[in-house]
Amino acid sequence: MATPNRRLTRKLSIIAQDPAVRYNGKILRAEIEIPAERLLPGPCGYRIVVDAAGEQPCRIPIHRDPFATASDERLLADSRFHAQNSYAILMRTLARFEQALGRRVSWGFPGHQLRVATHAFQQANAFYSARTKSILLGYFPGTEGMVYTALSHDVIAHEGTHALVHGLRRRYFDPSSPDQAAFHEGFADLIALLSVFSLPSVVAALLGSATLRPEHLSPEHLRESLLFAMAQQMGQEISNVRGQPLRRSIQIRPSAQWKRDPAFAEPHRRGEILVAAVMNALLEVWLCRLRQLGTLDAYRVAAEAADTADRLLSMAIRALDFCPPTDIVYSDFLSAMLTADREMSPDDTRFQFRQTMLKSFSRFGLRPTSKGDHGAWEPPEGRLHYDRSHLDSLQRDRDEVFRFLWENRKPLRVREGADTFVQSVRPAVRVGPDGFVLRESVAEYIQKMRLPASGLRRMGIRAPKGMPADHPVTLWGGGTLIFDEFGRLKVHVRNRIDNAERQNRRLAYLWALRQERP
Ligand SMILES: [Zn+2]
């Protein structure tokens, strides 16, 4: 029987970073591979719908890239290209998440299609709104004409990542701790930066020369390069300083000082610590690979960078499956990344990704939450009962997972008496170290308790100073369960609702926030 001629992917042109980033005097472009689909004008696709809002909608045929040979002037001026650019970057980001996680990824709102308004408002800003199920991209007058965030790779990938993380970890938008708000921002920057880094042709162009000299590959020189710059055009327009990106987190000097600096309470600023820790690790592994190769050929150097960035992208995205469902802190994310990478590549001896990551975080005073297995999460303790669980249902049925949880509440130390519900059960397909496909599943459960402040003490939790005894308090907690292909629990990532240390910190933070903003 003949197989139908199916094209799963297609290529489309985008602006590699933004119009301010030039190569040989022209805007640096990239051709990216994204899922193929028959689009309606807009473009309007199965997951991304660009809202033309009175402008001419962009028509993208399935076999042709309408802007493959367009002039720079046209890319800047044609609103249809702004639509294509936003659509293609968001589709690539979505596809990268789905590839890393081995499943479809939903948005954080009911519905399948995320709307994008490419010229939403005249302001140097852009944001994701779950309420309107959309990404709103602004524009503003710059020194050399209008600046469109719809032409900024980093801004679009950043906002798209907010939407994806919202789909995977609903409660991370809740006020919880300085780390949780910062995690959203830092993670979104990280995905944007690594996505550019994983395009070898763009890295080669940004290195600036086909034949490199050793000093081009010094850590100091590379830290200054556009590879580590987030949103170049927007940064230089806002700051009025030529060449100043919005953020260049890698230049934060590694130390634990930031923990005492009030400036790092602001989510974007604090998010930079996460970016700096990961990007320093990337730089270190990349340079180590180049030393082993002994090459100065820009394309070879770029291929090594892209390969390293791609592995870090997988590690960072897969880590979301190993993160607690509520109240994340940086140390949890570090343990989650180390676990995700251990699962993908048990042997880490060649380039020592995990060792390097651990060292890089520790230079910022950050240690993994897990005390065992070099910072990765360990298997659950205690004897678990599986005799009344059905493997098949355990991989897709929330009630079956709840039953497993209920039967094992003692060994898993799940708090009794709290409102407990299983929020999701999702398959996670990955290729094991032996090359075989493994079908695992990931379930999240949430626990919630409402009580007056006076009731905290019997849980060992301190009410913040000044909180009235009858003040209503809501506590959140929960865990992530990873089942292997045989339905056995491999990892239980917990954020216990009765973890006094964490709840004390969270309540103190939220109470202080409330006092600041009555
Ligand atoms: Zn953001």
What separation in Å is there between the alpha carbon of 124 and the centre of ligand 1?
13
What separation in Å is there between the alpha carbon of 109 and the centre of ligand 1?
17
Instruction: Choose among 317, 9, 338, 281: nearest CA to 167.
Output: 317
What separation in Å is there between the alpha carbon of 279 and the centre of ligand 1?
18
What is the DSSP code (8-state) at residue 130? Answer: T
Predicted pLDDT of residue 113:
98
What separation in Å is there between the alpha carbon of 183 and the centre of ligand 1?
10
pLDDT-based confidence at residue 404 (cuts at 50, 70, 90): very high
Instruction: Choose among 362, 207, 347, 358: nearest CA to 290.
Output: 207
pLDDT in tens, 77-99: 999 999 999 999 999 999 999 99
What separation in Å is there between the alpha carbon of 431 and the centre of ligand 1?
32
What separation in Å is there between the alpha carbon of 188 and the centre of ligand 1?
7
CB atoms within 10 A of CB 231: 24
Is there a cis peptide before residue 267, judged by omega within 30 degrees of 0? no
What separation in Å is there between the alpha carbon of 402 and the centre of ligand 1?
34
**69-78, 108-117, 337-346: range with lowest mean pLDDT:** 337-346
What separation in Å is there between the alpha carbon of 20 and the centre of ligand 1?
21
What is the rounded average pLDDT of the residues 306-334?
95
What separation in Å is there between the alpha carbon of 185 and the centre of ligand 1?
5
What separation in Å is there between the alpha carbon of 26 and the centre of ligand 1?
29
- Inform me whether the pLDDT recorded for 212 exceeds 70: yes
What separation in Å is there between the alpha carbon of 157 and the centre of ligand 1?
10
What separation in Å is there between the alpha carbon of 123 and the centre of ligand 1?
15
CA–CA separation, 77 and 94 (whole Å): 27
Exposure string of 426-445, with b = 16+ CB inside 10 Å and e = fewer, is bebebeeeeeeeeebbbbbb
Identify the residue with better confidence: 64 or 344.
64
What is the rounded average pLDDT of the residues 299-328?
94
What separation in Å is there between the alpha carbon of 393 and the centre of ligand 1?
37
Predicted pLDDT of residue 293:
86
- Inform me whether the pLDDT recorded for 109 exceeds 70: yes
Whole-model pTM? Answer: 0.95
What separation in Å is there between the alpha carbon of 329 and the centre of ligand 1?
17
What is the rounded average pLDDT of the residues 413-433?
89
List, in sequence order, the alpha helices (H) in 169-266: 178-197, 200-207, 219-224, 232-239
Q: From residue 385, how far is each of 11, 333, 405, 411, 425 by CA, in Å?
A: 50, 29, 10, 9, 19
pLDDT-based confidence at residue 227 (cuts at 50, 70, 90): confident
- Inform me whether the pLDDT recorded for 467 exceeds 90: yes
What separation in Å is there between the alpha carbon of 164 and the centre of ligand 1?
12
- Inform me whether the pLDDT recorded for 392 exceeds 90: no
- Scanning the structure block, which residue is given the tokens 């992208």? 313
- Inform me whether the pLDDT recorded for 200 exceeds 70: yes
Predicted pLDDT of residue 344:
86
Query: Which amino acid would we find at residue 359?
Result: K
- Scanning the structure block, which residue is given the tokens 């970890």? 169
pLDDT-based confidence at residue 310 (cuts at 50, 70, 90): very high
Show the beta-strand stretches assigned E in 432-488: 437-452, 472-483
What separation in Å is there between the alpha carbon of 184 and the centre of ligand 1?
7
What separation in Å is there between the alpha carbon of 225 and the centre of ligand 1?
23
pLDDT in tens, 8-27: 999 999 999 999 999 989 99
List, in sequence order, the alpha helices (H) in 364-451: 391-394, 398-407
What separation in Å is there between the alpha carbon of 158 and the centre of ligand 1?
6
What separation in Å is there between the alpha carbon of 162 and the centre of ligand 1?
7
What separation in Å is there between the alpha carbon of 136 and the centre of ligand 1?
12
- Inform me whether the pLDDT recorded for 431 exceeds 80: no
The enclosing H or E element of 93 equals: helix 79-101
Token reading at 205? 């162009």
Is the Cβ–Cβ distance between 173 and 161 less than 8 Å? Answer: no
What separation in Å is there between the alpha carbon of 90 and the centre of ligand 1?
15
What is the rounded average pLDDT of the residues 134-162?
96
What separation in Å is there between the alpha carbon of 233 and the centre of ligand 1?
17
Q: How far is CA 254 from the centre of its chain?
A: 22
What separation in Å is there between the alpha carbon of 191 and the centre of ligand 1?
12
What separation in Å is there between the alpha carbon of 271 and the centre of ligand 1?
10
